[in-house]
């Protein structure tokens, strides 16, 4: 046991070095061992735990998953190092532990990621650590304390590995796939229209979002090459169909403003955004494959995600390959994603690779975890901005009702007893787009409750009753208490 404790700092340093080696050649991609483990952890975590993390922790839940992936990867390589050191001690060999640990770490990393170069770097880093740390401990002879020198050598080795790996891996981490500023005149015109129609309210995001939320099941996003990407249409079709990126982008396209809202957000959360997408109608693809009046469809993605919903909704859908005039960012599904108007964001599958037409219903990824977010999105009016100018108070936000549209937003400054109509932004082209609202009033001089509700295009008032995100998305009127 005493020997095991003495090897522990060295083993932990080997764990850190192995993760660093993997990151140096993979960057934060799915070839990175910690990213791969984090994604695996998310997939095997029980649905009730995932739901609790989404509804209580929000984005912090994903950060914890990533941290968990790092911890598991360090522990894996550290355990390999400890086992190798024990094996070497058993046969009284100093050469065996580095070779055994390096080989085992390479094998484990390869099995987890399938990426040979990052796995080789991980194995080399683990093996090298079992050489460097004992050497550091022997520097200076027998004084003053070889155990302390071993700890310091382990810490120094781990820090050095991380310091070298970070800039290398960061350069290998793919960023957004983007061209120069939009050159298409129609794109520039539509973006300018959205800017002109946005209300001038401090703290209120414009009609085309400055930052578009991202939600997916990955720790690291897939890194796909458009030249190698294909989309297949399979299942209950007259003829299987496969399209490559050039074939999709050669189809007749259109520019569409579309809003997406996350089923797992809080009622007044910020996971609802809008962009201008370049997309081709899915109806054309379905007709080529010969899709009949089947019940359902399963969309599948390169990261293993899948979601099921009615074929009827798919017929109104699109394949998007540009966002605000640029190729899709990797975090939004490069090279091609689905857009299904009026439905929760979860079925707008990113990194789309397969459209499977089903003969009978099946559960999608989130349905297997207890969610029911494949239906039309719930209507909401959000209150995100408040400003004061003397005795005047201005409140503002966004309202969205999917393809049902927004005709008005009403504001109450007395907790819902009386209502006044807010100013709405002009409508953007499209049938699945949010609108901004703003309302200014004289301060009542005391604390008061502001409540907002949306009115759909046909006059339907947004339901008052509140419900949490789980299992079918948040509902209810947004309210906020303000001082006088």
pLDDT digits (tens, 9 = 90+) for 104-136: 999 999 999 999 999 999 999 999 999 998 887
How high is the pLDDT of residue 414?
96
28: left (phi over 0), alpha (psi -120 to 50) or beta: beta
pTM equals 0.86
Structurally, how many domains does the chain consist of? 3
How high is the pLDDT of residue 65?
81
| 369, 391, 420 - which closes a domain | 369
Q: Which residue has the higher pLDDT, 3 or 359?
A: 359
Residue 222, in any domain of the structure: yes
Asked if 272 and 382 touch (Cβ cutoff 8 Å), the reply is yes
DSSP class of residue 367? G
Q: CATH number of the domain that 208 lies in?
A: 3.90.420.10
For residue 50, pLDDT over 80 is answered with: no
Under the banding of pLDDT at 50, 70 and 90, the label for residue 39 is: confident
Whether 141 and 268 map to the same domain: the answer is no
pLDDT digits (tens, 9 = 90+) for 203-228: 999 999 999 999 988 888 899 999 99
Residue 374, in any domain of the structure: no
Whether 258 and 364 map to the same domain: the answer is yes
Whether 168 and 190 map to the same domain: the answer is no
Closest CA to 239 of 294, 281, 291: 291
Residue 120, in any domain of the structure: yes
Residue 273, in any domain of the structure: yes
Three-point CA angle 39, 42, 44, nearest 5°: 110
Q: What is the mean pLDDT of residues 234-250?
A: 96
Whether 415 and 333 map to the same domain: the answer is no
Asked if 232 and 240 touch (Cβ cutoff 8 Å), the reply is yes
476: CB partners within 8 A, 6+ apart: 267, 463, 464, 465, 466, 467
With a pLDDT cut of 90, the percent of the chain lying above it is: 75
Whether 406 and 354 map to the same domain: the answer is no
pLDDT digits (tens, 9 = 90+) for 356-367: 999 999 999 999
What CA–CA distance (Å, rounded) separates 95 from 52? 48
Range list of β-strands (E), 311-391: 318-323, 326-327, 337-339, 352-358, 380-381, 385-389
With a pLDDT cut of 70, the percent of the chain lying above it is: 94
Whether 235 and 329 map to the same domain: the answer is yes
Average pLDDT value for the chain: 91
Residue 64, in any domain of the structure: yes
| 350, 369, 388 - which closes a domain | 369
Whether 408 and 441 map to the same domain: the answer is yes
Under the banding of pLDDT at 50, 70 and 90, the label for residue 144 is: low
Residue 178, in any domain of the structure: no
Whether 283 and 138 map to the same domain: the answer is no
Asked if 357 and 236 touch (Cβ cutoff 8 Å), the reply is yes
**Cβ count within 10 A of residue 66:** 20
Whether 345 and 476 map to the same domain: the answer is no
Task: Concatenate the DSSP letters of all residues of 285-324 into one string.
Answer: HHHHHTB-S-SEEEEEETTS-EEEEEHHHHTT-EEEEEET
For residue 179, pLDDT over 60 is answered with: no
For residue 178, pLDDT over 60 is answered with: no
| Cα–Cα separations (whole angstroms), residue 286 to 305, 307, 334 | 21, 17, 21
What CA–CA distance (Å, rounded) separates 351 from 337? 6
Q: What is the mean pLDDT of residues 91-113?
A: 93
Q: CATH number of the domain that 449 lies in?
A: 2.60.40.650
Structural domain for 385, as ranges: 380-482
Whether 364 and 225 map to the same domain: the answer is yes
Closest CA to 278 of 405, 180, 182: 182
| Cα–Cα separations (whole angstroms), residue 337 to 276, 295, 297, 320 | 14, 22, 15, 5
pLDDT digits (tens, 9 = 90+) for 417-455: 999 999 999 999 999 999 999 999 999 989 999 999 999
Residue 179, in any domain of the structure: no
Under the banding of pLDDT at 50, 70 and 90, the label for residue 143 is: very low
Q: Which residue has the higher pLDDT, 175 or 15?
A: 15
| Cα–Cα separations (whole angstroms), residue 30 to 70, 114, 210 | 13, 9, 27
pLDDT digits (tens, 9 = 90+) for 245-255: 999 999 999 99
What CA–CA distance (Å, rounded) separates 426 from 165? 50
Between 34-48, 339-353, 464-478, the lowest mean confidence (pLDDT) is in 34-48
How high is the pLDDT of residue 180?
54
Backbone angles phi, psi at 344, to 5 degrees: -55, 155
Residue 323, in any domain of the structure: yes
Q: What is the mean pLDDT of residues 6-34?
A: 92
Asked if 321 and 278 touch (Cβ cutoff 8 Å), the reply is yes
How high is the pLDDT of residue 403?
97
Whether 358 and 392 map to the same domain: the answer is no
Whether 388 and 356 map to the same domain: the answer is no
End-to-end CA distance of the chain: 66
């Amino acid at each position: 046991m005493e020997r095991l404790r003495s090897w522990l700092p060295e083993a932990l340093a080997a764990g850190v070095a192995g993760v660093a080696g993997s990151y140096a050649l993979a960057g934060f991609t799915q070839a990175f061992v910690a990213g791969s483990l984090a994604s695996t952890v998310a997939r095997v975590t029980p649905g009730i735990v995932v739901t609790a993390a989404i509804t209580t922790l929000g984005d912090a839940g994903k950060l914890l998953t990533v941290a968990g992936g790092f911890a598991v990867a360090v522990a894996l390589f550290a355990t390999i190092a400890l086992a190798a050191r024990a094996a070497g001690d058993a046969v009284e060999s100093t050469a065996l532990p580095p070779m055994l640990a390096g080989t085992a770490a390479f094998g484990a990393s390869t099995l987890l990621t399938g990426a040979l170069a990052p796995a080789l770097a991980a194995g080399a880093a683990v093996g090298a650590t079992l050489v460097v740390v004992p050497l550091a401990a022997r520097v200076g002879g027998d004084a003053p304390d070889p155990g302390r020198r071993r700890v310091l050598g382990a810490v120094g080795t781990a820090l050095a590995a991380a310091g070298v790996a970070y800039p290398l891996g960061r350069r290998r981490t793919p960023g957004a796939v983007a061209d120069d500023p939009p050159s298409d005149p129609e794109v520039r015109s539509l973006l300018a229209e959205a800017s002109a129609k946005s209300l001038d309210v401090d703290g209120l995001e414009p009609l085309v979002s400055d930052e578009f939320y991202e939600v997916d099941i990955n720790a690291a996003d897939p890194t796909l090459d458009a030249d190698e990407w294909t989309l297949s249409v399979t299942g209950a079709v007259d003829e299987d169909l496969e399209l490559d990126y050039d074939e999709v982008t050669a189809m007749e396209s259109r520019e569409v403003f579309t809003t997406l809202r996350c089923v797992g957000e809080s009622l007044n959360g910020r996971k609802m955004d809008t962009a201008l997408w370049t997309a081709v109608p899915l109806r054309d693809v379905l007709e080529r494959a010969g899709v009949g009046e089947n019940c359902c469809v399963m969309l599948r993605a390169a990261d293993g995600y899948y979601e099921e919903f009615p074929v009827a909704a798919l017929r109104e859908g699109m394949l998007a390959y540009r966002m605000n005039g640029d190729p899709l960012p990797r975090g939004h599904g490069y090279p091609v994603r689905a857009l299904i108007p009026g439905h929760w964001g979860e079925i707008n599958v990113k990194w789309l690779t397969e459209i499977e037409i089903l003969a009978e219903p099946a559960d999608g990824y989130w349905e297997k975890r207890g969610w029911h977010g494949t239906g039309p999105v719930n209507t909401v009016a959000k209150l995100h901005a408040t400003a004061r100018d003397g005795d005047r108070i201005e409140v503002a936000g966004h309202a969205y009702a999917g393809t049902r549209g927004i005709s008005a937003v009403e504001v109450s400054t007395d907790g819902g007893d009386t209502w006044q109509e807010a100013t709405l932004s002009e409508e953007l082209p499209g049938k699945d787009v949010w609108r901004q609202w703003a309302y200014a009033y004289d301060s009542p001089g005391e604390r008061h409750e502001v409540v907002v509700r949306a009115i759909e295009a046909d006059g339907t008032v947004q339901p008052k009753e509140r419900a949490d995100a789980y299992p079918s998305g948040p509902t209810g009127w947004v309210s906020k208490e303000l001082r006088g």
